[in-house]
Amino acid sequence: MARILIVDDDEALATLMDKALRAEGYEVRRARDGPAGLKLLEEQPADLVLLDVRLPGMSGLEVLRQIREQHPRTLVLVITGYSSLPVALEAVEGGAVGYLTKPFKMADLRDRVNKTLGRSGGGGGIVVKVR
Amino acid sequence: MRFRPSVRIQIAAVITLLMVVPVIVMAYDILFASRSDDVLLAEMEERLTGLVNYVAAEIVAQFKDPETGVRGRQGDPAVLAEVFRGVAGPVAQSHPGVRVGLYCVGSESILIEGYLHITGRLPEAREQRERRILEEARAGIKAVLETGSPITRVGQTYDDRFLEYLVPLRVDGELVAVLWADHRIHPVFAQSTRMRLLVRYVALAAVVLAAAGTAWATNHWWRRVEIIKAGLARLGRNLESRVPDLPGELGEITRSINEMAERLLERERLIEELRKSEYLAALGRLVSEIAHELRAPMGVVRAAAEMAAEQMDPAARARVAEYLDLIEQQATRHERLIGSLLDFGKPGAAWESVALNKLLNEVLGATKPLLERYGITLFYEPDPDLPAVRGDREKLKQVFLNLVLNAVEAMGSGGQLTLRTFPDDGSACVLVADTGVGIAPEDLPHIFKPYYTRKAGGSGLGLAISEEVVRVHGGVIRVCSRPGGGTTFTVCLPTLRKGEDGADGTHSDC
């Protein structure tokens, strides 16, 4: 079963994502900021990281850089703030496989995660959603 | 407090001080020093008087002395001549430059001893000389004969002048002759007296003229300084006033002052613009911050409702479908509201010169497909001579985009959109008129208030934000509308180089 790490300081949104993905059968862990997320990855690697770019302390882009450096096999989907397309594009250039723009539907989230992890016959293609 | 005399008094004091010394010296010279000439003449006269009196006394004494053998013979010219020669000869010899003469009453001849010119003159026959001297002395002799008393006169011989003292010679009360002595007045001395006096008067006049001229120039200069002073005081109160132009160097000063004021004004204007654009930027940042914070929880609400719906069995979901729809609807409305705020919160650019016609072309370019889709006819009448305004180009563009979109919404399908630009008393104005539903009179006073909207799904922020942007640019936005009669918005923005104290905002007038 694929392992997913959610790094987001929005407790409510993280809880919803956690529940939605668990319902899909994924093993989900959560961290509230960059250092905590990196520590969890040290302890046990993950297949996918859902990373909010707007984080307290260390910026999401910096966390992304460190994940790509230390865990090259881990895929990263960034969750960008509202209407911040430039940051999203920067994240994709920095090695993220794609981005989700808030607000998003949980159905969209499940869809994206499944496709990214190569499930439900989506062929694993990276879909970049532009709002 | 210390006494601080004005510059004018100081200058007057300096002029007075400078003038006092030469004027005193000249006055002294004129009143006292030039008297030295008179003193010299007086001395000469005294000497002549002494000599003549001595000679006269000697002659009279001889005629009175019984021992000389001439007693009582004064009537005889030959005797008189002899006595005269005996007395005057030695006197003339011992006083070079002094000439002693005697005229016998009733005769046409005179006797002369001594010479006026020590070096002598060209040889001259004795008789000829005596005739000449008689002619020169005749006026004095005549005067003495008529008055019977001594006189002093100045006579002329050739081009020389001489001082002459004449006395009547009386023996026993009988006037027998006129005796006189001459002394040449040196020509240099005579000329220099006049010359010196003239030079002194001319110099005094020059000094007085110079003083008067300096006083006049100072006063003239001072009046101009007063003009500059007054101009600077006005400038201190109002940077837009100017110091009057003056000729000459003071004019250069006033022009420099005016240039400085111009630059200060420009600077003040730039600072004001900077302040406003910073204000807009800060406001924008704050609004963005708030909008982001407001959006996050609503996203969660929406997602939570979505998940709740998913996990319900179909029957339960059907029962609450209406509420779920409401949540969905309101979340969408909320997001639109936030969207308006975020548009406004976009970082502001530095202020620049903005040509409104060009800006409107861009706005119309962007909205053209929309106008076509709704079948709206566009009348665009830009004034080609419209002056530019200063401001945040993007924000202004948003204002007009907003007005055009409002117009389109008000008209729905069909209708006519009129855009016109025109200058108006230091402002550049844009008129946006539609033929739409119009605004109810009771709504009209509130349309610029935030969150006030009559449109389904409207944020109520469009006009409020537009009004704020126009206000920050020192402009005015007016609206004129009648229900069913369409709506006309007029935005007037101050043109370049105009005061920025625009009216406080909005008017409703038709």
Phi/psi of residue A88, each to 5°?
A: -60, -45
Position B382 scores a pLDDT of 92
Binary contact (B292, A19; C-beta < 8 A): no
Task: Decide: B180 and B100 in contact? Cβ < 8 Å.
Answer: yes
In b/e form, how buried is each residue of B288-303, taking b as 16+ CB within 10 angstroms? beebbeebbebbbbbb
Position B128 scores a pLDDT of 85
> With helix as H, strand as E and coil as C, how does B93-161 read?
HHCCCEEEEEEECCCCCEEEECCCCCCCCCCCCHHHHHHHHHHHHHHHHHHHHHHCCCEEEEEEECCEE
- Closest CB to B304: pick one of A10, A16, A102: A16
pLDDT > 90? residue A46: yes
In a 13 Å sphere around the CA of B473, the CA atoms on its Cβ side amount to 35
pLDDT, mean over chain B? 83
Number of other residues whose CB lies within 10 A of the CB of residue A26: 21
Q: How far apart are CA B6 and CA A121, in angstroms?
A: 100
Predicted structure pTM score: 0.42
> Given CB atoms, is B307 within the 8 Å cutoff of chain A?
yes
The pLDDT > 70 percentage for chain A reads 87
Nearest to B400 by CA among B338, B490, B474: B490
CA A13 to chain B, closest CA, distance in angstroms equals: 5
| B295: chain A residues, CB-CB within 8 Å | 82, 102-103
Q: How far apart are CA A115 and CA B111, in angstroms?
A: 163
Q: Which amino acid is at B105?
A: V
Give B106's strand partners: none
Number of other residues whose CB lies within 10 A of the CB of residue B394: 14
> Given CB atoms, is B342 within the 8 Å cutoff of chain A?
yes
| A13: chain B residues, CB-CB within 8 Å | 296, 299-300, 303
SS3 B180: strand
Binary contact (A82, B342; C-beta < 8 A): yes
Arithmetic mean of pLDDT, B187-203: 75
Q: How far apart are CA B429 and CA B411, in angstroms?
A: 23
Position A36 scores a pLDDT of 93
Q: How far apart are CA B102 and CA A26, in angstroms?
A: 165
Q: Nearest residue of B to residue A109 by CA position?
A: B303
Q: Which ipTM value was assigned to this complex? A: 0.71
Q: Which of residues 447-506 of B touch A (CB under 8 A)?
A: none
In a 13 Å sphere around the CA of B314, the CA atoms on its Cβ side amount to 0
Q: How far apart are CA B253 and CA B203, in angstroms?
A: 37
Position B82 scores a pLDDT of 87
Per the model's pLDDT, the better-predicted residue between B449 and B99 turns out to be: B99
- Closest CB to B307: pick one of A16, A82, A102: A16
Question: Residue B386: enclosing H or E segment and its boundaries?
Answer: none
| A102: chain B residues, CB-CB within 8 Å | 295-296, 299
Instruction: Report DSSP letters for A94-109, one per residue.
Output: TT-SEEEESS--HHHH
Binary contact (A106, B299; C-beta < 8 A): no
Position B9 scores a pLDDT of 81
Helix axes B462-472, B314-345, angle to 10 degrees: 10
Phi/psi of residue B240, each to 5°?
A: -85, -15
| B338: chain A residues, CB-CB within 8 Å | 82
CA B464 to chain A, closest CA, distance in angstroms equals: 23
Binary contact (B303, A13; C-beta < 8 A): yes
Helix axes A60-70, A85-93, angle to 10 degrees: 10
Task: Decide: B73 and B174 in contact? Cβ < 8 Å.
Answer: no
Binary contact (B304, A20; C-beta < 8 A): no
Token pair in block for residue B119: 């070096």
Binary contact (B300, A12; C-beta < 8 A): yes
Instruction: Report DSSP letters for B239-255, one per residue.
Output: TT--PPP-SHHHHHHHH
| A103: chain B residues, CB-CB within 8 Å | 295, 298-299, 302-303, 331, 335
Handedness of CA B287, B290, B292, B298 (dihedral sign): negative
Q: Which amino acid is at A47?
A: D
| B292: chain A residues, CB-CB within 8 Å | 81-82
Binary contact (A103, B295; C-beta < 8 A): yes
Q: Nearest residue of B to residue A21 by CA position?
A: B307
pLDDT > 70? residue A128: no
Q: How far apart are CA B371 and CA B378, in angstroms?
A: 8
CA A19 to chain B, closest CA, distance in angstroms equals: 9
Residue B131 pLDDT grade (very low, low, confident, very high; cuts 50, 70, 90): confident
> A60-112 pLDDT, tens per residue?
889 999 999 999 999 999 998 755 677 888 888 888 888 888 878 888 899 88
CA A95 to chain B, closest CA, distance in angstroms equals: 26
A17-31, B145-159, B486-500: the lowest-pLDDT one: B486-500
Q: Nearest residue of B to residue A108 by CA position?
A: B303
Q: How far apart are CA B408 and CA B370, in angstroms?
A: 8
Position A30 scores a pLDDT of 94
Interface of A with B (CB under 8 A): 10, 12-13, 16, 19-20, 81-83, 102-107
Task: Decide: B391 and B349 in contact? Cβ < 8 Å.
Answer: no
In b/e form, how buried is each residue of B448-459, taking b as 16+ CB within 10 angstroms? beeeebeeeebb
Arithmetic mean of pLDDT, B297-314: 87
pLDDT, mean over chain A? 84
Give B389's strand partners: B354, B495
Number of other residues whose CB lies within 10 A of the CB of residue B133: 20
Helix axes A60-70, A34-43, angle to 10 degrees: 20
Arithmetic mean of pLDDT, B370-396: 88
Q: What is the distance, to the nearest Å, from the Cα of residue B314 to the centroid of all Cα atoms in its chain? A: 94
CA A22 to chain B, closest CA, distance in angstroms equals: 13
Q: Which amino acid is at A116?
A: T
The reply to whether omega before B66 is within 30° of 0 (cis) is no
> Given CB atoms, is B326 within the 8 Å cutoff of chain A?
no
Q: How far apart are CA A48 and CA A50, in angstroms?
A: 7
Per the model's pLDDT, the better-predicted residue between B412 and A35 turns out to be: A35
Binary contact (A103, B297; C-beta < 8 A): no
Binary contact (A82, B292; C-beta < 8 A): yes
Position B418 scores a pLDDT of 93
Binary contact (B307, A106; C-beta < 8 A): yes
Per the model's pLDDT, the better-predicted residue between B78 and A51 turns out to be: A51
Arithmetic mean of pLDDT, B342-346: 67
* Interface A-B: count of C-beta contacts within 8 A: 43
**CA B81, B84, B85 angle in degrees (round to 5)?**
85
> B50-70 pLDDT, tens per residue?
999 999 998 888 888 888 777
> Given CB atoms, is B303 within the 8 Å cutoff of chain A?
yes
Q: How far apart are CA B350 and CA B277, in angstroms?
A: 7
Nearest to B299 by CA among A27, A31, A109, A40: A109
| A106: chain B residues, CB-CB within 8 Å | 303, 306-307, 310
CA dihedral B425, B428, B432, B433 (to 10 degrees): 20
Q: How far apart are CA B182 and CA B98, in angstroms?
A: 6
Position B504 scores a pLDDT of 42
Residues whose CB falls within 8 Å of the CB of residue B470, separated by 6 or more in sequence, listed in order = B399, B476, B477, B491, B493, B505
Arithmetic mean of pLDDT, B23-51: 81
Q: How far apart are CA B218 and CA B274, in angstroms?
A: 46
